[in-house]
Chains A and B, each alone.
Chain A
Amino acid sequence: MIYYVGAFGLIIIGLYIILTKRNLIKMIIGLDLFETGIFILLICMGYIKGGTAPIFSKSGLNPALMVDPVPQALVLTAIVIGVATLALALSLAIKLYRHYGTLDMRKIRELKW
């Protein structure tokens, strides 16, 4: 249960940062925290008490005690894609900085809310 609290805590902190901070880099950090919270939530859902990794590396492992491989497979690809999208967001931040000379959202007119 504490894992769910932690995962949703990360998600809420990330959303709060995205909503309130005005520096673009901080907003990107918030986006990454949000993403990490989702990864932890997915992995927790597949956990089984006293479970082993879903790998038959030696004989005598009980299949009924293996943790769910599906969320692990999803998160495995999602982490790498998260890195790539993070790099894309950072490159957009670089471009905006070059154009406006600032990372402050209040001074970038078109992005104000």
Chain B
Amino acid sequence: MSMIEVENVTKRFGHILAVDRISFYIAKGEVIGFLGPNGAGKTTAMRILACFFPPTSGRASVGGHDVVTHALQVKQLVGYFPERVSVYPDLPVRSFLDFVAEAKDVPRAERKREIGRVIESCGLEAVSDRIIGHLSKGYRQRVGIAQALINRPQVLILDEPTIGLDPEQVVEIRKLIRDLGAERTVILSTHILSEVSSVCDRVIIINQGRILASESLAELRAQLHRTRVVRVEVEGPEPQVRGVLERLPGVETVRRPELRVRKPEDNGAVALVVEYTGDDIRKQVSRTVLEHGWGLLEVRSLEPTLEDMYLQLIRDEEQAPRIESLRD
């Protein structure tokens, strides 16, 4: 059974259509990356699942409970980290978490232990008695995550949890999310693509209120990039090198890379990008180059990055805006 089911959900604010008939399912224990440019509808979709507001139409449920008719049950299951880190700056960390535990119905006898557990898992021991407003941004972010973790929610909804942190803190928070994902269903929204590659099992890409793709990174890669790419650097005359590579079996195009930094040591070297289909071509490329007596400086397979895939999807969508989304 799916932990989260979203069917044909639409949300309008006046005549602004924030989310347009989206549907997706998330299994128990999955870590999902919610991707999209700013204003794509990520936050709206997450707020609907966190029972912040109901959808205009359509049906959404968490753990089998409808978000409109059984909001209280859904709220018991969900830990939510809002996009704006929202904490009370005037309260000490511990009394803030005490309030959260009481609001989330943690029994009085267990409250202290639960708060201790959350403080430990978010690395807040050193600051637990300090006023939240006096903490650094990274710590405040952790307090925000800590409040979401109180009462061991089965579903975590994190809206851009790493924004505004320094690189070291980003790594720490991602590690925390990975650990949490081991036993929970997590939805993580972000527009930082490397975050998704490092943390998530599956991505849901959303743009202009519609879902463009909802699959694992490997599937997405396979679907979008039929062709594979190798980057070659050869010391030899460019026209001949190009001609030889083009004649290799399976090669579709040979072109210059879009971006290349010229270095003094590579005088006479040619950098080329070979797009091909079929099995790995690197062995053939290197043999051919050496047979012609040219110097082989580099042969490297280029995996399409999430950035490439994402930009391609958004571009395709914008070129054909009226075509129904990939998965409906």
Same complex: no
